[in-house]
Amino acid sequence: MEHQEGKQEFNITVYTENQVGLLNRIAIIFTRRKINIDSLNTSPSEVGSVHRFNIVITETEDVVRKLCRQIEKQVEVLKAYYHTNEDVIWQELALYKLSTDVIAEKVSVERLLRENGARTVAIRKDYTVFETTGHREETDNLLSILQPYGLIEFVRSARVAIIKDSEGFNAKLREFERLEPGDEVIENEFLNEGDQVFTM
């Protein structure tokens, strides 16, 4: 992927309390700065009460650093990290829908799917759905391979990413889970310690 000078893909991981409306407030931080979000995934984390956002943008490190600081100002945000693609293990899932007749007629299609690590997830009389996981280049490659065979539908998920070196923060998450404050003062003290508590 070619990027403008100094720009590259960054994975922003945001750990939050699960609050209604938070996604909208985080999205506004990007919108105000006219920054396009390439991918956004939100899911539970390894700690029941903590939610995790994975946001992919193409920007300079300086811009990404400032964004993370801004995101952390949201009350429910515990910590925001950013990493390059080299610092994370990531995957995207893609689904491809093709005519069942085309697959039956052209043996080469099945071979191409096998070679690209695709597996069948649904077979109907009029269509068959295949699934593959991988990096963007891999799912894009299979997309271009299948286009000549009358691809009916294509969809790709948002990126999911695991930080390679995240043990330190996991310990802090577990600590937060133990505190589970009924007492607001404890919660605020814990969160306001900010980077000291959450350094990795």
Give pLDDT tens digits along the chain (200 positions): 555 678 999 999 999 987 778 889 999 999 999 999 999 999 988 887 889 999 999 999 999 999 999 999 988 899 999 999 999 999 999 999 999 998 888 767 888 888 999 999 999 999 999 999 999 999 999 999 999 999 999 999 999 999 998 776 777 777 766 665 544 433 333 444 333 333 33
Same fold? 8-88+163-198, 90-156: yes
pTM comes to 0.78
The domains of the chain are located at 8-88+163-198, 90-156
Instruction: Give me the residues paired with residue 13 across strands.
Output: 54, 81
CB contact burial 77-96 (16+ within 10 A = b; e otherwise)? bbbbbbbeeebbebebebbb
Residue 80 parent element (H or E): strand 77-84
Domain 90-156 class, CATH top level:
alpha beta
In sequence order, what are the residues at sequence separation of 6 or more whose Cβ sits closer than 8 angstroms to the Cβ of residue 128?
97, 98, 99, 100, 103, 120, 122
Chain center to CA of 194: 24
Q: Which CATH number fits domain 8-88+163-198: 1.10.3720.10, 3.90.1150.10, 3.30.70.260, 3.40.50.2000?
A: 3.30.70.260
* Cα 25 from Cα 4, distance rounded (Å): 28
Per 3-state DSSP, the chain is made up of helix, strand and coil in percentages (nearest 5) of: 40, 35, 25
